[in-house]
Amino acid sequence: MSALFSPFTLRGVTLPNRIVVSPMCQYSAVRGEATAWHMIHLGHLALSGAGMLCLEATSVEPDGRITPGDLGLWDDATEAALKPVIDAIRKYSHIAVTMQISHAGRKASSAAPWEGGQLIAVSEGGWMPSAPSAIPHKEGETPPLALDAAGLIRIREAFVATAKRAARLGVDALEVHAAHGYLLHQFLSPLANQRTDEYGGSLENRMRFPLEVFDAVRAAFPADKPVGLRVSASDWVEGGWDLEQTIVFVKELQKHKVDWIDVSSGGVSPLQKIPLSPGYQLPFAKAIKEATGVNTMGVGLITDPQHAEEIIESGEADLVALARALLYNPRWPWHAAAQLGATVEAPPQYWRSQPREQKALFGDISFGQR
């Protein structure tokens, strides 16, 4: 039996396989509201045969958006816009739907990548980002506003409100975004956090706000549904956040009942130097798994089904998340199942598509024709 296509249980959610559609920002929302693009994009990925579909980074407040086009879930309008998308997925797919909830911190108010990705000035329709410290992401940018006590409370409550709305929408799981240089990662990294209060300085202090947010989200979401967290295991910059600190953080999260760690890296500094190669972040996932025993999700240029199989089989990670590979080939799980001798769920409208030599790809199915 294929390891990649073996089931995996997280609290009350059992995935039919270990393939995860990674959260991928689309920058196509309007005032945070999902659009027809999300219906098309998420709809076809929901039919991919993966075990879990993770929605893109969903902002907990308007000022927490990376770009003006970011998806949000902070009021009745954003909730109402997302509901038909979730409902359509539920009607035609059994895939587990996860939502990644996030706040961009000092990386907010940016242009979409295809528009340059630069900070948008307030005078040009942007807004003032907030962060742990008044340190800009890039040299020459306007410094963000340093969060005060009231700001920390506001953002923590925004995460809670979003978690409650996600539960009302029937989302199966949540992933708290503490990676890629966004707000919670900014609190963790000494490159972005130079506070002198109880939220800065020592590792214990830098972990405090991310742990408070995780606890608040966990308490607000149904107990039988899992909550994971994405972390950048290294800033790839000397003097920044690293694997050793990550392991300490994950051990703390383990005490707080985290269900998985999605192990990525980088994003907090433009000075990062990342040696890209297939599976380049897997050593981080493996080290975290070995040090803590917590469930891990491996990511990073994983495109070959046999490679994904070996990742699960060897214990480097418990789940494999794909992003660009699934954009390029939304039927990647079908092809992986065919290659590995496994079965995958597909809607009956597509059953006739399986090749003659792969008659068992969709399991034991039969249908007649007049």
The SS3 of residue 100 is strand
Q: Tell which residue, 153, 289, 164, has the closest CA to residue 217.
A: 164
The SS3 of residue 173 is strand
159 Cβ contact list (under 8 Å, min separation 6): 60, 101, 103, 176, 213, 216, 217
CB-count burial class (<10 Å; 0-12, 13-18, 19+) for 250: buried
Count of C-beta atoms within a 10 Å radius of residue 143: 14
Count of C-beta atoms within a 10 Å radius of residue 44: 12
Q: Tell which residue, 239, 103, 72, 121, has the closest CA to residue 181.
A: 103
Q: Position 171: which residue type?
A: V
Angle at 266 between CA 17 and CA 249, to 5 degrees: 75
44 Cβ contact list (under 8 Å, min separation 6): 330
182 in catalytic set: yes
CB 241 within 8 A of CB 271: no
Count of C-beta atoms within a 10 Å radius of residue 224: 8
Rounded Cα gap, residues 214 and 285, in angstroms:
20
* The one catalytic residue among 27, 92, 182, 199: 182
Rounded Cα gap, residues 177 and 346, in angstroms:
30
The SS3 of residue 300 is coil
Count of C-beta atoms within a 10 Å radius of residue 333: 27
Residues identified as active-site = 182
